Amino acid sequence: MEHEATRITGTDLDPEAAFQRRLGAVVQAVEERIAALLDDAPRRGEIARPARLVAAMRHAMLGGGKRLRPFLVIETAALFGVPFAHALNGACALELVHGYSLVHDDLPAMDDDDLRRGRPTVHKAFDEATAILAGDALLTLAFDVAADESSHTDPAVRAAFVQGLARAAGLGGMVGGQMIDLAAEGRYGDVLLDEARVRRLQAMKTGALIAFAVDAGALLGRAPLGDRQALGAYGRAVGAAFQIADDILDRESSAAAMGKRTDKDAGKGKATLVGVLGLERARRERDTLVEAAIAALASFGAKADILRSAARFTASRQS
Q: Which residues bind a copy of itself (CB under 8 A)?
A: 42-50, 52-54, 57, 100, 104, 107, 109-110, 127-130, 132-133, 135-137, 139-141, 143-144, 146-148, 154-156, 158-160, 162-173, 175-180, 182-183, 187-188, 200, 203-204, 208, 212
For residues 37 and 244, which CB has a smaller minimum distance to a copy of itself in the complex? Answer: 37
Closest distance to a copy of itself from the beta carbon of 49 (Å): 5
For residues 10 and 186, which CB has a smaller minimum distance to a copy of itself in the complex? Answer: 186
Closest distance to a copy of itself from the beta carbon of 165 (Å): 8
Closest distance to a copy of itself from the beta carbon of 9 (Å): 36
Closest distance to a copy of itself from the beta carbon of 32 (Å): 19
Give the per-residue SS3 of the chain. CHHHHHHHHCCCHHHHHHHHHHHHHHHHHHHHHHHHHCCCCCCCCCCCCCHHHHHHHHHHHCCCCCCHHHHHHHHHHHHCCCCHHHHHHHHHHHHHHHHHHHHHHCCCCCCCCCEECCEECHHHHCCHHHHHHHHHHHHHHHHHHHHCHHHCCCHHHHHHHHHHHHHHHCCCCHHHHHHHHHHHCCCCCCCCCCHHHHHHHHHHHHHHHHHHHHHHHHHHCCCCHHHHHHHHHHHHHHHHHHHHHHHHHHHHHHHHHHCCCCHHHHCCCCCCHHHHHCHHHHHHHHHHHHHHHHHCCHHHHHHHHHHHHHHHHHHHCCC
Closest distance to a copy of itself from the beta carbon of 85 (Å): 20
For residues 225 and 298, which CB has a smaller minimum distance to a copy of itself in the complex? Answer: 225
Closest distance to a copy of itself from the beta carbon of 224 (Å): 19
For residues 166 and 244, which CB has a smaller minimum distance to a copy of itself in the complex? Answer: 166
For residues 4 and 148, which CB has a smaller minimum distance to a copy of itself in the complex? Answer: 148
For residues 100 and 313, which CB has a smaller minimum distance to a copy of itself in the complex? Answer: 100
